[in-house]
């Protein structure tokens, strides 16, 4: 498994067999940076512009695009270049070498228009487990106290999501994790450093 992180919450997971799966690569990633970064499938967690951007999706050129109904309604192109799969909470997406389970995440009180769907993801690839918390403001969706994961992605940017302290508190609840990786700090990059410092003080692997 290879992981490549992009701005805000963007991620490409590549399985050992070369299958490439993108998540939430959107407005903060310069288009030029995606030159040649083709993927097989892509998932969008919710409709906000820092997670869902059709220009970036077209650039990544997935064969299959997975999104909730609310995002689906924003695609007006009647013959898009990708197959659209509308997905819901609780569903497991089977991509062969990659399996993705969707759960529901609280975006918190600071969003002006709360999205109808806001997914977190539990991903299995090459026998490894990746927990992608999504746009989480308060602990929601899954009781993580029994979860062992190789990698956990956590938002740390505050206001719309966890800040560094909340992210560390949530991180401490997992049963066992190989590595925590901060995300969603584009507007306040210092929150990344704060998270890393606080996590290290707690003895968490970052
Ligand atoms: Zn959002």
The length of the chain in residues reads 206
Distance 132 CA to ligand 1 centre (A): 14
Distance 131 CA to ligand 1 centre (A): 18
For residue 206, tell me if it sits in a domain. Answer: no
Distance 190 CA to ligand 1 centre (A): 20
User: Hey, what are 130's tokens?
Assistant: 């990746």
Distance 17 CA to ligand 1 centre (A): 32
For residue 12, tell me if it sits in a domain. Answer: yes
Distance 116 CA to ligand 1 centre (A): 11
Look up the domain containing 62 and give its range: 2-201
**Segment holding 168, helix H or strand E:** helix 164-171
For residue 30, tell me if it sits in a domain. Answer: yes
For residue 136, tell me if it sits in a domain. Answer: yes
For residue 97, tell me if it sits in a domain. Answer: yes
Distance 33 CA to ligand 1 centre (A): 22
Q: Which phi and psi (to 5°) does residue 171 adopt?
A: -60, -35
| Predicted pLDDT at 105 | 96
Q: Report d(CA 30, CA 137) in Å as an integer.
A: 26
The pTM score is: 0.97
Distance 113 CA to ligand 1 centre (A): 10
Domain count, the chain: 1
For residue 13, tell me if it sits in a domain. Answer: yes
**Strands, sheet with 119-125, edge to edge from the N-terminal-most edge strand:** 92-94, 98-104, 119-125, 128-132, 148-155, 176-183
Environment class of 48 (CB within 10 Å of its CB; exposed 0-12, middle 13-18, buried 19+): buried
Answer whether 132's CB lies under 8 Å from 56's CB: no
SS3 69: helix
Distance 143 CA to ligand 1 centre (A): 22
User: Nearest to residue 157, comparing CAs of 7, 4, 3, 2?
Assistant: 7
Is the torsion defined by CA of 91, 42, 30, 189 positive or negative? positive
Q: Degrees (nearest 5) of the Cα angle 130, 94, 36?
A: 70
Q: Going by DSSP bridges, is the β-strand pair 92-94/98-104 parallel, antiparallel, or unpaired?
A: antiparallel
Averaged over successive runs of 10 residues, the pLDDT of the chain (206 residues) comes to 98 98 98 98 97 98 98 95 98 98 96 93 98 96 96 97 98 98 97 98 97
Question: What is the domain-level CATH number for residue 37?
Answer: 3.60.15.10
For residue 175, tell me if it sits in a domain. Answer: yes
| Predicted pLDDT at 108 | 95
| Predicted pLDDT at 113 | 85
| Predicted pLDDT at 112 | 87
Distance 45 CA to ligand 1 centre (A): 9
Distance 160 CA to ligand 1 centre (A): 7
Distance 137 CA to ligand 1 centre (A): 10
User: Nearest to residue 18, comparing CAs of 113, 99, 101, 125?
Assistant: 125
Distance 49 CA to ligand 1 centre (A): 8
Distance 16 CA to ligand 1 centre (A): 31
For residue 113, tell me if it sits in a domain. Answer: yes
Q: Report d(CA 97, CA 47) in Å as an integer.
A: 26
């Amino acid at each position: 498994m290879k992981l490549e992180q992009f701005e805000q919450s963007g991620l490409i997971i590549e399985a050992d067999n070369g299958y490439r799966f993108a998540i939430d690569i959107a407005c903060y990633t310069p288009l030029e940076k995606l030159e040649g970064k083709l993927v097989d499938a892509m998932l969008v967690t919710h409709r906000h512009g820092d997670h869902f951007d059709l220009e970036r999706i077209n650039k990544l050129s997935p064969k299959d695009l997975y999104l909730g109904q609310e995002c689906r309604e924003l695609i007006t192109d009647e013959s898009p270049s990708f197959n659209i799969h509308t997905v819901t909470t609780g569903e497991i997406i089977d991509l062969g070498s990659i399996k993705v389970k969707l759960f529901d995440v609280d975006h918190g009180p600071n969003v002006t228009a709360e999205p109808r769907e806001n997914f977190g993801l539990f991903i299995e690839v090459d026998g490894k487990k990746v927990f992608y918390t999504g746009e989480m403001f308060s602990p929601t969706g899954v009781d993580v106290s029994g979860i062992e994961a190789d990698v956990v992605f956590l938002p740390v940017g505050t206001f719309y999501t966890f800040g560094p302290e909340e992210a560390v508190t949530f991180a401490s609840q997992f049963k066992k994790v190989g590595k925590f990786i901060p995300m969603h700090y584009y507007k306040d990059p210092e929150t990344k450093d704060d998270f890393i410092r606080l996590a290290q003080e707690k003895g968490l692997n970052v």
